[in-house]
């Protein structure tokens, strides 16, 4: 099973991943094989089985609403490509 | 041709928690950029979210306030899109199993009628950071402040039950009133604590088929919302009547220029590829937890309105205005408790105080005039120590920080003269000194005499340096002039 070229291009755009001409057919094949796996899963009879998003029968632990994080801006911005006046700078995004 | 308007709202409410929804970083407003953005908020590799219990409780409280079903099992999804103020590349939100299910909100309209607006659901999610496009940095860049990233929100989604701007505003205000009354949101619109997305469509009057809708996003004041709705309705009708069709699109309204425009189609091509968030397990809400929150749920605006009418003898209208704002309602009750005069307490809280706060852009909680100080002023109005006019001066004094009502009255010699002997003498003196006016009064046709009283009042108030009790002077004056006829 393979996926249409248009579909691959759309997914690449949505995922902000650059896929060049030469690899498109390979990516298409590989994604197709993932979909085949999904098809196999979908063939299983799930009548009366409630969908679950996690394999564990357990629930989310909750945190108390207390401040536990301190200001570590300097350390966190030390690894950013570009900062100024405490802001992270990114290529201009304006609508 | 006449048209029906159909409006639905999505309201983002920032929850008043101390920390983020998935991290222990502070949510306090106004901090230096990125000083409240921790490794989790920045989506550093290896970090995992841990859900804030208070955010869950606040969402449940909202559900209880609108009589909604509470999801015993709710789950989080990832909504994938790329924008620099969303470091993870997805927003953690709820889709399939929101924590708050269907509910109802009753709104009151100007003509006194009520209308029910159905709530489709409300879900928990995280806020994004802020992108700044102008600042002290190279103009080919945008600056990103992630302090707001991860602030807990509930998104309240209404059914398309509103049919004009008035109803939409009434609904938005009611939600504001509910969330501030139960204390889950500070309601500070100027700080973005509540933001509105408005879905609008029009259809031929009476038609069962809905028209194509547009969504105008991120309105942060009731005024902008009203303008945006009215303009969008007019635009859609224009387009259709000119033979065009409405495109389903997202629009942005600029409150400054009063212009709305379509967002680029590229931004429009959203395909969020939702899927269950593997980092977060289902949230289980127990019956005990819900019952405890229900027991402790603060008074709702509707209940407070009814109580104000019964307990304080206020009109339904006054009680409605006071109870719609939790801070104002508390202020009124504090004033009333001290001065034991609910009617005057209501008038001054809704009148002079509110007007002044609005002018200065202050909220009731930052009022320079405390409830005790206003009560002190009202006590002096009620016992006739000062006139209404003096009271305004005293109020200004308290506002300016000159002290209590009694201190200001004393310091400025504002005592009202209510001693009837002294007032009678004053009236007699003025009449004696203005014989011509008195003759004129006597010679005037009876039906027109009333108009002449103002001239005497002015002279008497002037003679008393504004300190005579005007009601008493009025009485004495009328009586004395009558005797002369």
Using the Cβ of A88 and the Cβ atoms of chain B, whether some distance falls under 8 Å is answered with yes
CB-based contact A88 B146, cutoff 8 Å: yes
Chain B nearest CA to A45, separation (Å) = 21
ipTM of the complex in this document? 0.88
CA pair distance B247, B212, nearest whole angstrom: 7
Q: What angle do CA B345, B348, B353 make, to 5 degrees?
A: 130
Percent of chain A scoring above 70 in pLDDT: 96
Q: What is the DSSP string of B464-481?
A: TTT-B-HHHHHHHHHHHH
The residue ranges of DSSP E strands in A10-66, in sequence order, are 62-63
CA pair distance B212, B265, nearest whole angstrom: 17
For residue B248, give the nearest of A10, B239, B256 by alpha carbon.
Answer: B239
Give mean pLDDT, residues B381-386.
Answer: 87
Is residue A13 very low, low, confident or very high in pLDDT (cuts 50, 70, 90)?
confident
Q: What is the DSSP string of B345-362?
A: HHHHIIIIIHHHHHHHT-
pLDDT of residue B269: 56
3-class SS of residue B90: strand
pLDDT of residue A79: 93
Please give the residue that has the higher pLDDT: either B93 or A49: B93
Q: What is the CATH number of domain B420-484?
A: 1.10.10.410
Q: Does pLDDT of B183 surpass 80?
A: yes
User: How many structural domains is chain A composed of?
Assistant: 1
Q: Does a structural domain hold residue A10?
A: yes
Q: What is the pLDDT of residues B63-78, one digit of tens each?
A: 999 999 999 999 999 9
Chain A nearest CA to B82, separation (Å) = 8
CB-based contact A63 B36, cutoff 8 Å: no
Is residue A15 very low, low, confident or very high in pLDDT (cuts 50, 70, 90)?
confident
Q: Does pLDDT of B254 surpass 60?
A: yes
Please give the residue that has the higher pLDDT: either B64 or A3: B64
Using the Cβ of A73 and the Cβ atoms of chain B, whether some distance falls under 8 Å is answered with yes
B270 → chain A, closest CA residue: A14
CB-based contact A93 B36, cutoff 8 Å: no
Chain A nearest CA to B379, separation (Å) = 43
- Interface A-B, measured as beta-carbon pairs within 8 A, has a size of 140
- Listed in order, the ranges of chain B carrying CATH 1.10.10.410 are 420-484
Lowest mean per-residue pLDDT among B85-94, B254-263, B267-276: B267-276
pLDDT of residue A1: 60
CB-based contact A85 B83, cutoff 8 Å: no
Using the Cβ of A17 and the Cβ atoms of chain B, whether some distance falls under 8 Å is answered with no
Q: Does a structural domain hold residue A64?
A: no
Q: State chain B's mean pLDDT as an integer.
A: 92
CB-based contact A91 B142, cutoff 8 Å: yes
Contacts of A86 in chain B (CB under 8 A): 32-35, 145
CB-based contact A87 B84, cutoff 8 Å: no
Q: Does pLDDT of B347 surpass 60?
A: yes
Minimal Cβ distance to A61: which of B19, B50, B252: B50
Using the Cβ of A59 and the Cβ atoms of chain B, whether some distance falls under 8 Å is answered with yes
A residues 19-48 near B, CB within 8 Å? Answer: none
Q: What angle do CA B341, B344, B348 make, to 5 degrees?
A: 135
Please give the residue that has the higher pLDDT: either B474 or B287: B287
- Residue A31's domain spans which residues? 5-43
Percent of chain B scoring above 70 in pLDDT: 99
Total residues found in chain B within this entry? 485
Is residue A95 very low, low, confident or very high in pLDDT (cuts 50, 70, 90)?
low
Q: Does a structural domain hold residue A90?
A: no
pLDDT of residue B466: 77
CA pair distance B255, B184, nearest whole angstrom: 27
Count of CB atoms within 10 A of residue B255's CB? 14
Lowest mean per-residue pLDDT among B23-27, B192-196, B479-483: B479-483
Contacts of B42 in chain A (CB under 8 A): 76
CB-based contact B24 A63, cutoff 8 Å: yes
pLDDT of residue B265: 53
Please give the residue that has the higher pLDDT: either B139 or B88: B88
Give mean pLDDT, residues B441-457.
Answer: 84
pLDDT of residue B187: 92
Q: Mean pLDDT: which of A2-6, B38-42, B266-270 is highest?
A: B38-42
Is residue A80 very low, low, confident or very high in pLDDT (cuts 50, 70, 90)?
very high
Q: Does pLDDT of B264 surpass 70?
A: no
Minimal Cβ distance to A90: which of B19, B37, B144: B144
Q: Does a structural domain hold residue A82?
A: no
Q: What is the pLDDT of residues B392-419, one digit of tens each?
A: 999 999 999 999 999 998 888 887 777 7
Using the Cβ of A91 and the Cβ atoms of chain B, whether some distance falls under 8 Å is answered with yes
Give mean pLDDT, residues A9-36.
Answer: 89
B75 → chain A, closest CA residue: A53
Beta-carbon contacts of B466 under 8 Å, excluding residues fewer than 6 positions away, are B387, B389, B390
CA pair distance B50, B23, nearest whole angstrom: 6
Q: Does a structural domain hold residue A26?
A: yes
Q: What is the pLDDT of residues B114-145, one digit of tens each?
A: 999 999 999 999 999 999 988 888 888 999 99
Minimal Cβ distance to B145: which of A60, A87, A91: A87
B84 → chain A, closest CA residue: A90
Dihedral pair phi/psi, residue B332, rounded to 5°? -55, -45
Is residue B299 very low, low, confident or very high in pLDDT (cuts 50, 70, 90)?
very high
Dihedral pair phi/psi, residue B66, rounded to 5°? -110, 15
Chain A nearest CA to B79, separation (Å) = 12
CB-based contact B53 A92, cutoff 8 Å: no
Chain B nearest CA to A32, separation (Å) = 18
CA pair distance B452, B458, nearest whole angstrom: 11
Please give the residue that has the higher pLDDT: either B51 or B454: B51
Q: State chain A's mean pLDDT as an integer.
A: 89
Lowest mean per-residue pLDDT among A62-76, B111-125, B140-154, B244-258: B244-258
Dihedral pair phi/psi, residue B102, rounded to 5°? -60, 140
A76 → chain B, closest CA residue: B39
CA pair distance B345, B49, nearest whole angstrom: 48
Q: Mean pLDDT: which of A7-21, B40-54, B238-252, B408-422 is highest?
A: B40-54
pLDDT of residue A11: 85
CB-based contact B144 A89, cutoff 8 Å: yes
Give mean pLDDT, residues A76-80.
Answer: 95
């Amino acid at each position: 099973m393979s996926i249409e070229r248009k579909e691959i291009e759309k997914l690449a755009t949505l995922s902000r991943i650059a896929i060049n001409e030469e690899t498109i057919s390979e990516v298409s094949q590989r994604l197709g094989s993932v979909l085949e796996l999904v098809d196999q899963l979908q063939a299983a009879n799930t009548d009366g089985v409630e969908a679950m998003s996690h394999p564990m029968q357990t629930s989310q632990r909750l945190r108390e609403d207390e401040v536990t994080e301190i200001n570590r801006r300097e350390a966190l911005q030390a690894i950013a490509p570009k900062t100024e006046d405490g802001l992270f700078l990114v290529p201009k995004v304006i609508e | 041709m006449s048209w029906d308007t159909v409006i639905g709202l999505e309201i983002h409410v920032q929850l008043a928690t101390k920390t983020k929804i998935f991290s222990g970083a502070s949510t306090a407003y106004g901090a230096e950029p990125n000083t409240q953005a921790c490794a989790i908020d920045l989506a550093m590799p290896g970090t995992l979210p841990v859900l804030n219990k208070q955010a869950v409780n606040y969402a449940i409280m909202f559900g209880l306030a609108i009589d909604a079903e509470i999801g015993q099992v709710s789950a989080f999804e990832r909504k994938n899109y790329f924008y620099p103020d969303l470091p993870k590349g997805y927003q953690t939100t709820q889709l399939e199993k929101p924590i708050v299910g269907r509910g109802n909100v009753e709104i009151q309209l100007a003509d006194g009628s009520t209308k029910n607006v159905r709530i489709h659901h409300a879900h928990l999610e995280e806020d994004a950071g802020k992108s700044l496009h102008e600042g002290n940095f190279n103009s080919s860049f945008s600056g990103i402040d992630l302090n707001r990233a991860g602030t807990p929100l509930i998104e309240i989604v209404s059914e398309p039950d509103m049919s004009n701007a008035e109803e939409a505003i009434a609904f938005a205000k009611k939600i504001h009133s509910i969330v501030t009354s139960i204390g889950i949101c500070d309601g500070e619109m100027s700080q973005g604590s509540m933001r509105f997305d408005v879905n609008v469509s029009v259809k031929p009057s009476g038609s069962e088929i809905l028209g194509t809708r547009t969504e105008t996003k991120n309105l942060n004041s009731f005024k902008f919302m009203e303008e945006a709705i009215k303009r969008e309705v007019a635009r859609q009708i224009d387009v259709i009547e000119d033979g065009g069709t409405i495109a389903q699109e997202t629009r942005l309204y600029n409150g400054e220029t009063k212009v709305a425009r379509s967002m680029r189609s590229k931004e429009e091509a959203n395909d969020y590829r939702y899927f269950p968030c593997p980092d977060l397990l289902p949230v289980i809400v127990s019956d005990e937890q819900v019952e405890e929150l229900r027991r402790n749920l603060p008074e709702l605006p509707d209940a407070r309105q009814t109580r104000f009418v019964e307990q304080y003898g206020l009109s339904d209208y006054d009680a409605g205005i006071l109870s719609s704002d939790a801070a104002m309602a508390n202020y009124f009750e504090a004033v009333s408790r001290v001065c034991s005069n609910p009617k005057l307490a209501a008038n001054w809280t809704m009148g002079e105080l509110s007007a002044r706060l609005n002018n200065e852009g202050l909220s009731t909680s930052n009022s320079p005039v405390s409830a005790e100080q206003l009560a002190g002023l009202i006590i002096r109005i009620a016992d006739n120590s000062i006139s209404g006019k003096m009271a305004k001066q005293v109020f200004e004094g308290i506002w300016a920080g000159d002290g209590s009502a009694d201190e200001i009255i004393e310091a400025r010699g504002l005592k009202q003269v209510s001693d009837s002997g002294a007032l009678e003498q004053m009236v007699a003196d003025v009449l004696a000194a203005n014989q011509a006016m008195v003759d004129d009064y006597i010679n005037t046709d009876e039906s027109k005499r009333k108009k002449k009283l103002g001239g005497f009042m002015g002279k008497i108030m002037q003679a008393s340096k504004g300190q005579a009790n005007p009601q008493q002077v009025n009485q004495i004056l009328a009586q004395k002039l009558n005797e002369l006829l």
